[in-house]
Amino acid sequence: MASRGTNVVVSRAYRMRQKLQSALEATLLEIEDVSHQHAGHAPMRALPNAPQETHFNLKIVSPKFTGHTLVKRHRMVYDLLADELSSGLHAISIVAKTPQEVQQK
Amino acid sequence: MATISLSSIHTSPSSLRLLSSYSSQNTPTLSFYSHTKPSLSFSSVSLKPITTARSRTLTVVSAFGKLSETEPIPLPPAPEEIAGKFPSESGVYAVYDQSDVLQFIGITRSIAASVLAHRKSVPELCCSVKVAVVDEPDRTALTQAWKSWMEEHIGATGKIPPGNESGNTTWVRQPPKKKPDLRLTPGRHTQLTVPLETLIDRLVKENKVVAFIKGSRSAPLCGFSQRVVGILESEGVDYESLDVLDEEHNYGLRETLKKYSNWPTFPQIFVNGELVGGCDILTSMHEKGELVGLFKK
């Protein structure tokens, strides 16, 4: 599972962007790879190869979040990224807002 | 993220202690305490004997109002009404019991919050409270106000309020003890009589707040878990924690919990048996002040 990080052909970030963008019709989609910040913590150190693309910060603004609780929104994102999560993606930090919520600020 | 230091998250115990000698031949120590912001710290303040301090006391009193001339505010029967009857500003307060005996003089960053906390912890000693808001509440002004009331009371009765005597911890909120993390099994080779999923289900339903974290609550092994522990501690909520990395006692917990909650990452926080979310959601709710209501339910 961990060794896949070394033979990534298309980057995980790219795949994530494709999946999220098409499903959520996001008006804003920021994907930031912060894996380097987590390279030292225990579960990452336990992996045999230096893991890549394990931690991301996501900022997503999508009309599809309207009417859903935070838990539901996060679940939507997690469901879209299920394949990634089962293939070495370790954690994602998610900010999920609707266009209306962004406007109010 | 992994390098967040513990000290930045666990706030120091919120009790403040001031020890000072009151007079030379009889040197009881005095303590005061603020329930709210732990950031306020007082260096030692010495109370001078009344004889020499009287003139200065008078000038101080004129600024804050004398203790004896302040009207006591009776505590409402319902704690929820306290916020409406007491100011939320910084100041000093004096708590009286049912027999109108002064029990404690305190200093605080929020009078209402301190009164509420005392009312909850020692209702039998809280009957009415005199309060004085201190304008421009820097620590010198607050300490001065507190001193002036203490000196006035000691001058009038010759006694230190029992709650201010050294060694009396009635009015000091005890820092919550760190609970041990819960363990699902006594050891890896235990034969479970029920499926792990059932154990998890029972656990989150029988405990109000449960946090599944990486590492122990006293030494979380991931930045997100650490933040969650920090938030729960700062909310002062009584919660249970489980270390999902503990393969000896919680073998299989990670994978089973992911399926149970349909949530792929950790930490995970449950309240009343329902998944609230992970670190992002908890942080967001904490910042919006939504957790207080959630934990009350």
Mean pLDDT estimate for chain A: 85
Q: Residue A45: is its pLDDT beyond 80?
A: no
The answer to whether residue B22 sits within a structural domain is no
Q: Is B291 in the same domain as B204?
A: yes
Q: Is B208 in the same domain as B153?
A: no
A78/B264 CB distance under 8 A: yes
Domain of residue B234: give its range.
196-296
The answer to whether residue B175 sits within a structural domain is no
Q: Which residue of B has its CA nearest to A36?
A: B1
Q: Which residue of B has its CA nearest to A83?
A: B264
- For residue A75, give the nearest of B224, B262, B284 by CB distance: B262
Query: Closest Cα of chain B to A2: distance in Å?
Result: 17
- Count how many domains chain B has: 2
The answer to whether residue B190 sits within a structural domain is no
- Would you place residue A41 in the very low, low, confident or very high pLDDT band (cuts 50, 70, 90)? low
Please report, for the domain that includes residue B202, its CATH number. 3.40.30.10
Q: Which one of B146, B164, B182 terminates a domain?
A: B164
ipTM: 0.79
The answer to whether residue B40 sits within a structural domain is no
Q: Is B150 in the same domain as B235?
A: no
Q: Which one of B164, B182, B214 terminates a domain?
A: B164
d(CA A65, CA B16): 46
3-state secondary structure of A35: helix
A91/B265 CB distance under 8 A: yes
Question: Does A68 contact chain B (CB < 8 Å)?
Answer: no
Answer with the residue of higher pLDDT: B74 or A6.
Answer: B74
Q: Which of B20, B120, B291 is nearest to A70 (CA)?
A: B291
pLDDT for A50? 60
pLDDT for B126? 93
Which of B212, B214, B222 is best to mutate for the A interface (most A CBs within 10 A)? B222
Q: Is B145 in the same domain as B220?
A: no
Please report, for the domain that includes residue B142, its CATH number. 3.40.1440.10
pLDDT for B31? 52
Query: What's the Cα-to-Cα distance from A29 to each of A62, A74, A94, B195, B284, rounded to whole Å?
Result: 9, 14, 11, 41, 19
pLDDT for B88? 87
Q: Count Cα atoms within 13 angstroms, Cβ side, for B296.
A: 6
The answer to whether residue B174 sits within a structural domain is no
Task: Report mean pLDDT in 10-residue bins for chain B, 297 residues.
Answer: 40 39 42 45 45 41 74 88 88 94 92 89 92 87 92 94 89 72 86 90 96 93 91 90 94 94 95 95 93 86
The answer to whether residue B38 sits within a structural domain is no
Burial class for B124, CB neighbours closer than 10 Å (0-12, 13-18, 19+): exposed
Question: Does B288 contact chain A (CB < 8 Å)?
Answer: no
Q: Is B131 in the same domain as B211?
A: no
A85/B264 CB distance under 8 A: yes
Burial class for B282, CB neighbours closer than 10 Å (0-12, 13-18, 19+): buried
Q: Which one of B164, B184, B206 terminates a domain?
A: B164
